[in-house]
Structure 1
Amino acid sequence: MSSILTNNGATAALQTLKNINKSMGNVQEQISTGKRVNSSKDNAAVWAISTAMESDVAGFKKVSESLSLGQATVSVARQGAETVADLLTQVKEKVVSAQEENVDRAKIQTDIAALRDQITAVVGASQFNGQYMLENTGTAEDSGGINVLASLDRSFSGVSSSDIRVSKEDLSQGAATAGSVSVDASLGNTVVAGESNDVATFVEDTAGGLTTGNTYQFTSGGNLALSEDVAYVAREGDTLEDVTNGLVMKLNEQAAADGLDVTFSQSDTGVGTISMTNNTDADIAVAAGEFQQAALDGSEDDGGIGGRLEVLASMDVSTQAGTDSALAVIDGLIEVAIDSAAAFGSSEMRLETQADFVSGLTDALKSGIGTLVDADMEETSARLQALQVQQQLGIQAMSIANSAPQSLLGLFR
C-alpha cells in the first residue's frame, strides 16, 4: 500500500543511515585517538583494567626517577671511596718511607698531613643534592643511609612500595667518644711469651643484633700496660666482625704507640673474640672484665660515633713509636676504604639492575595496555572504507525513498 502520510521506505532508509553514521563516528574516533576503548562506555571491563595499569605505569615512571637519583648519589659516593683508597695507598708509601731512620720524618709527616687533609676534602665533597654518604659523625641519631624507592608491588590487598637500602660508609676522621659502660663481656687470660691466646670476647646485644651507637671498650688491666682505653662505637650496618676488626685496629695502634711488642687479631675461635700475640720474653696477664660493652640510652653520657678513619687523624710518623703505630694500622685503613668502595659498587650495580628491570617492566605494561585498548588500524581502515560505501548507498536509498511519493501524482492525471 502506498501512502503520502507515511513513507515506510524513507523511515527504514533513515534508520539505516543513522546507524551507518554512528558507526562511522566510532571509527573516526578510533582513527583520531588510536584507541578502540576510549572510555568506560566502550568496554567497561577493559577500560577499568587499562586505567589501573596506566596508573601503575605512571607510578613506575616516578620509581625510575628515584632509581636514577639513587644511582647518581651512590655513584658519587663510590668515586669518593675509591679516591680515598688511592690516597690512603699514598699515605702507606709515606709511612713505609718513614721506617728508614736516615730520612726527614718531619717532611714526611707534612706530606701525610696534606694527604689527610685531601681525604677530608674528598669525603666532604662526595655528596649529591646535599646527601652525604661518606660522613656519619655525631651521635647515634645521625647515623643512617638512604632508602631508594625501587618498585611498586600490587597484590589483592592493595599496592605497596619496596626500597633498596644503601647504608653510609663513613670515611671521616672524627673521633669517637665512648658512652657509659655498664656490661662486662670479657674473657681475660695470660699470654705466654712468644705465643698467642684469646684475651677478650663479646656477644651481640641481648635484644638481638648490634645497635647503632653501642660502645665497645677495652680497658687496660693486669700487666697489659696500655696507656689509654680503646673504644669502638657501632655504626649502622656493623656486624660483630666489623666491631671486632675496629677494636683490633685501635688496639694495635695503641700498643704500637705505647711501645708494646704485642699484636692483636680476630681470633680463629670465632667472631667476637680477640686474640693477642705476645712477642716479648715475659708472660702478659690480661685481667678479666677489661672488655666491656654498653648501649647508649640518649643521655648526656652517650658517646659520639667517630669516623672509620679516626686513627688517621692522630697518625704521626715524626717519632719511631709513631711510625710503628702508623704501620700497624695503615693496612686496616686501606681495607676500610676498599670495603666501602666495594659496598657502594655492589649497591650501584643493584640499582642499575633494578632500573633496567623497571624500564623493561614499564615497556611490558605499556604493551599490555596497548593490546587491550589500541585500535587495529588496518582493520579500522578497511572498516572505514566499507562504511563510506554503505553511507553513499544509504544516501542513495534515502533519495529513492523520498522520491517514491512523487510517482503517486501520475495516478491522478
Structure 2
Amino acid sequence: MSSINTNVGAMVALQNLNRTSSELSSTQSRISTGLKVASAKDDGAAYAIAQSQRATVSSLDAVKDSLSRGVSVVDVSMSAGESVSDMLTQLKEKALAASDTSLDTTSREALKADFDSIRGQITKTLSNSTFNGVNLVDGTNAEIGALANADGSSTITVTGEDLSLGGAVVTLASDDSFDTATSANALLSTLDDSISNVSAALARLGTSSKALDNHMTFVGKLQDSITSGIGNLVDADLAKESAKLQALQTKQQLGVQALSIANQSTSTVLSLFR
C-alpha cells in the first residue's frame, strides 16, 4: 500500500541514519580523547575501577615524596657521620703524637690546641646536620617514618644515631683532652672505641638509606604497572577507531542517500492522477 501520510521506508532510513550518526559521534570522541571510556556513561564499571586506580597512582606520588625526604634526611646524617669519623681519626692522630714521651711541652700544647678545636667541631657539625627540620645524629630525633603505601597504613622507620660527644656511640667526652703523654695515651682506647662505634652507626644508616631507595624504586614500578592497567581498561585502539571512522563516514553518506530516495518514493503516487 502506498501512503503519503506514513512513509515507512523513510522512517527506517532515518533510524539507520541516526544510529550511524550516533556511532560516528562515539568514534570521533574516542579518537579526539584517546579513550574508549571517557565517562561513567561509556562503561560505568570500567570507569569506576579506573578512577580508583588513578587515585592510587596519585597517592603514590605522595609516598615517593615522603620516601625522597627520608632519603635526604638519612643522606645528610651519613655525611655528618662520615665527617665525625674523619675528625675522630684526626683526634687519634693528635693524641698518639702527644703520647710520645720525647715530645717537648710546647709541641704537646700545640697538639692539645688542635685536639680541642677538632673536638669542638664535632658538636658544631652534628648540630648543623638538619634536613627539613629533622636531625638524626645529634639526639634531637630518635627516629623518622616515611610513607610506604598509598593508604598510609604502612611506614618505613629509620632509627636515629646519636653521635653526640660522651654518648653511647662517641664515648669521647666533650671535655676530654690531655696535658701529658700519659693522659694522651689514655685517650687512645676511647678514640678507637668511638671510631669503631661510628663506623657501625654509619653502616646502619647506610642500610636504612638503601631500604628507602629500594622501596622508592618499587613504588615507581608499581605506579607504571597501575598506569598501564588503567590504559588497558580505558584507552582506545586508535588504529581500529580510525578504520571504523572511515567506514561510518561512508555509511552515513549512504544513509543520507537512502533517506533521500525514500522521501522521493511518495512522489510516484502523483503519476496515478495523470
1:167 and 2:165 aligned: no
1:340 and 2:209 aligned: no
> 1 or 2 for the larger relative contact order (CA 8 Å, sep ≥6)?
2
Identity %: 39
Q: Write the distance in 1 (CA, Å) between the matches of 2:147 and 2:37.
A: 33
Instruction: Tell me which residue corresponds to 1:133.
Output: 136
Asked whether the 8 Å contact 1:171–1:309 carries over to 2, the reply is yes
1:6 and 2:16 aligned: no
SS at match of 2:217: helix
1:384 and 2:235 aligned: no
Instruction: Tell me which residue corresponds to 2:85.
Output: 85
Give the C-alpha shift of residue 403 in structure 1. 1.5
SS at match of 2:153: strand
Instruction: Tell me which residue corresponds to 2:68.
Output: 68
Asked whether the 8 Å contact 1:27–1:380 carries over to 2, the reply is yes
**TM-score normalised by structure 1 residue count:** 0.63
Q: Write the distance in 1 (CA, Å) between the matches of 2:221 and 2:177.
A: 54
Asked whether the 8 Å contact 1:67–1:148 carries over to 2, the reply is yes
2:258 aligned partner, one-letter code = A
Say if 1:160 and 1:115 are closer, same or farther in 2 by CA, change over 3 A: closer
Q: Write the distance in 1 (CA, Å) between the matches of 2:163 and 2:183.
A: 22
Instruction: Tell me which residue corresponds to 2:148.
Output: 150
Q: Write the distance in 2 (CA, Å) between the matches of 1:17 and 1:58.
A: 43
Show the 5 A alignment for 1:115-126.
115-126=118-129
1:133-188 deviations in Å (ceiling 9; x for gaps): 1111xxxxx65210011223xxxxxx552111111111122x5xxxxxxxxxxxxx
Q: Write the distance in 2 (CA, Å) between the matches of 1:313 and 1:385.
A: 83
Instruction: Tell me which residue corresponds to 2:212.
Output: 351
Q: Write the distance in 2 (CA, Å) between the matches of 1:101 and 1:311.
A: 23
Show the 5 A alignment for 1:85-124.
85-103=85-103, 104-124=107-127
Instruction: Tell me which residue corresponds to 1:44.
Output: 44
Asked whether the 8 Å contact 1:77–1:133 carries over to 2, the reply is yes
Instruction: Tell me which residue corresponds to 1:315.
Output: 176
By percentage of residues, which structure has more helix? Answer: 2
Note the aligned Cα RMSD (angstroms). Answer: 1.6
Give the C-alpha shift of residue 322 in structure 1. 2.3
Instruction: Tell me which residue corresponds to 2:22.
Output: 22
SS at match of 2:38: coil
1:352-400 deviations in Å (ceiling 9; x for gaps): 1111110011001100111111111111111111111111111111111
The 4+ residue runs of structure 1 with deviation greater than 3 A are none
**TM-score normalised by structure 2 residue count:** 0.94
Instruction: Tell me which residue corresponds to 2:271.
Output: 410
Q: Write the distance in 2 (CA, Å) between the matches of 1:314 and 1:370.
A: 65
